[in-house]
């Protein structure tokens, strides 16, 4: 709900009513603006976080990056586990070098990048890079998933 003194005034609608004192008065408009308010709220959130949303709010919480096409199947396996757990995950299987994929993920402000290669596939793990904390190293995929779920549950900033 909003209280609007501007629109009914002389510069806009020029509305008047005669009050109990027999003099003209400008009314106050009360209106509901659910979409305008929601859009302003979203704008405030984007500005506040500078588009670097916390994990629980980010549209893409984790991006899995394959070192090469040989590890595409493992990357998809990790993706399925994360999706089934309710994590918003993307996968970058492009033929680009891993450095370019990491740079793109950082530029897209994805909270976590999970790199998968031969060592990670062998150990059922991921090499994690956090937007906030930097390089976290190799972590078991299940342990990483649990840590993300906990962070989302607690709505950590």
Same domain, 28 and 66: no
Between 1-5, 41-45, 62-66, the lowest mean confidence (pLDDT) is in: 1-5
Same domain, 99 and 25: no
Q: What is the CATH number of the domain that holds 94?
A: 3.40.50.800
**Total domains present in the chain:** 2
pTM for the full model?
0.77
Q: What are 25-57's pLDDT values in tens digits? A: 988 888 776 666 788 888 889 999 999 999 999
Inside any domain, residue 54: no
Residue 2 clears pLDDT 90, i.e. is over it? no
Same domain, 40 and 71: no
d(CA 102, CA 6): 50
Inside any domain, residue 56: no
Q: Which domain holds residue 25?
A: 2-49
Same domain, 90 and 137: yes
Q: What are 73-100's pLDDT values in tens digits? A: 999 999 999 999 999 999 999 999 999 9
- Give pLDDT, residue 35: 66
- Give pLDDT, residue 56: 96
Residue 118 clears pLDDT 90, i.e. is over it? yes
Residue 150 clears pLDDT 90, i.e. is over it? yes
């Amino acid at each position: 709900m909003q209280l609007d003194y501007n629109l009914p005034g002389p510069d806009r609608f020029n509305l008047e009513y005669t009050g109990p004192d027999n003099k003209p008065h400008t009314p106050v408009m009360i209106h509901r603006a659910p979409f305008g308010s929601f859009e302003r709220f979203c704008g405030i959130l984007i500005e506040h976080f500078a588009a670097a949303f916390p994990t629980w709010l980010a549209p893409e919480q984790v991006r899995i990056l394959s070192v090469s096409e040989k590890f595409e199947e493992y990357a998809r396996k990790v993706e399925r586990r994360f999706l089934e757990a309710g994590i918003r995950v993307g996968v970058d299987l492009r033929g680009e070098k891993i450095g370019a994929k990491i740079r793109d993920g950082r530029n897209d402000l994805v909270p976590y990048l999970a790199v998968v290669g031969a060592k990670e596939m062998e150990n059922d793990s991921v090499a994690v890079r956090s937007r906030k904390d930097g390089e976290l190293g190799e972590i078991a995929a299940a342990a990483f998933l649990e840590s993300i779920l906990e962070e989302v549950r607690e709505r950590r900033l």
